[in-house]
Copies of this chain bind each other. A is one copy, B any other.
Amino acid sequence: MKRTIREPYKIFFETLGNKTRWDIIHLLQKGKLNVTAIVKTLGYEQSLISHHLGRLERCGFVGVEINKKERIYTLNKKTIKPLLKLMDKHINRYCKNLCR
């Protein structure tokens, strides 16, 4: 694909346009967690979660702290909170019933 000036927009939103990643984001809203805990709670495969966490991290939506062998992921609320607010407002106003 050609790389244009608008490529970052695509990547940014594409990252958020995935249900599994929203499951992770939603879970991390309640607090930071390591990979194993995320895996157990959501019931997905470990490698799947890792792939998604990697993507979320590269896009700056989550951060990671290292504690011994574990990696503890935290949500970037500075971005996610206002984003959620904006989205909810939009959906309520403009496409209450359906989308897509």
Enumerate chain A interface residues (CB-CB to B < 8 A). Answer: 1, 4, 6-19, 22-23, 26, 55, 58-60, 76, 78-79, 82-83, 86-87, 90-91, 93-95, 98-100
A59–B10 CA distance with the chains assembled, in angstroms: 16
Nearest B residue to A18 via CB reads B10
Given contacts A82-B86, A98-B58, A100-B59, contact A17 B17 (CB under 8 A): yes
B100 touches A11 (CB 8 A): yes
Q: Which residues of B contact A91 (CB under 8 A)?
A: 8, 12, 60
Nearest B residue to A91 via CB reads B8
- Interface centre among A12, A22, A86, by most B CB within 10 Å? A12
Kindly identify which residue among B15, B22, B94, B98 contacts A99, using a CB–CB cutoff of 8 Å.
B15
B99 touches A12 (CB 8 A): yes
